Chain A
Amino acid sequence: DGGITQSPKYLFRKEGQNVTLSCEQNLNHDAMYWYRQDPGQGLRLIYYSQIVNDFQKGDIAEGYSVSREKKESFPLTVTSAQKNPTAFYLCASSRGGVEQFFGPGTRLTVL
């Protein structure tokens, strides 16, 4: 079955640590996206990538980094520079310009 997977489902981090969230898709989609969701604020775009080896900052990129070395994979690193990283993180993919398919999400908690 084609789909998009995220791991882990729950992640705990100590302050000052970097952590990487995984996102993999086997839908053969060119475009991939990372969103952050906080209560009452909807989905906010962190980074997005339309093709391999290229990505653009979204609306809240500070404190985050990404890579796109393979079409199937778009990992997100939450760095220690992100001051309030506790949130629900959603990865999505699309063929570009049409519907986005979302993964199940990773809930990150900073201890």
Chain B
Amino acid sequence: QQPVQSPQAVILREGEDAVINCSSSKALYSVHWYRQKHGEAPVFLMILLKGGEQKGHDKISASFNEKKQQSSLYLTASQLSYSGTYFCGTEKRANFGNEKLTFGTGTRLTIIP
């Protein structure tokens, strides 16, 4: 089952903050976040592991609530380059060595000047 992302789309002015959420009905081992610009391949942002700490670099960070099986991506002081569609990918790791991700349907983020 695909994780559920919210919101589906958001429009921000440059400098504003955004939060993108990813929820799963299954127990998770890890959550990956990717950004895809129109017509391009998705690019890895970060991975959060079960039992791990909140991650972040530059003004993009993320958290993972294991009890709720939820992850949130935080974009602070958004820049025009942050525009794109953000996907979370969840991993159950039922069998070690047989890892696969299940991706959400994406959140389209548009930053306007």
For A96, the chain B residues whose CB sits under 8 A away are 97, 99
A60 vs B45: C-alpha distance when bound (angstroms): 26
Do the beta carbons of B102 and A45 come within 8 Å of each other?
yes
Which residue on chain B has the smallest CB distance to residue A97?
B99
| Residue interface bits B20-56, CB-to-A below 8 A is 1, else 0 | 0000000000101010000011111001000000000
Do the beta carbons of B98 and A50 come within 8 Å of each other?
yes
Please tell me which one of the listed residues B87, B91, B97 contacts residue A50 in the complex, with CB atoms under 8 A apart: B97
* Number of A interface residues in the complex (CB < 8 A): 25
Which residue on chain B has the smallest CB distance to residue A104?
B41
**In this assembly, does B6 line the interface, its C-beta being within 8 Å of a C-beta of chain A?**
no
How close is A5's CB to chain B, nearest CB, in angstroms? 11
For A97, the chain B residues whose CB sits under 8 A away are 30, 91, 93, 99
* Number of B interface residues in the complex (CB < 8 A): 24
For A100, the chain B residues whose CB sits under 8 A away are 32, 34, 44, 89, 101
A101 vs B105: C-alpha distance when bound (angstroms): 19
A59 vs B87: C-alpha distance when bound (angstroms): 17
Please tell me which one of the listed residues B41, B100, B106 contacts residue A45 in the complex, with CB atoms under 8 A apart: B100
**In this assembly, does B104 line the interface, its C-beta being within 8 Å of a C-beta of chain A?**
yes
Do the beta carbons of A90 and B41 come within 8 Å of each other?
yes
Do the beta carbons of A90 and B47 come within 8 Å of each other?
no
Q: A41-B105, A44-B103, A100-B32 are in contact. Are A90 and B42 (CB under 8 A)?
A: yes
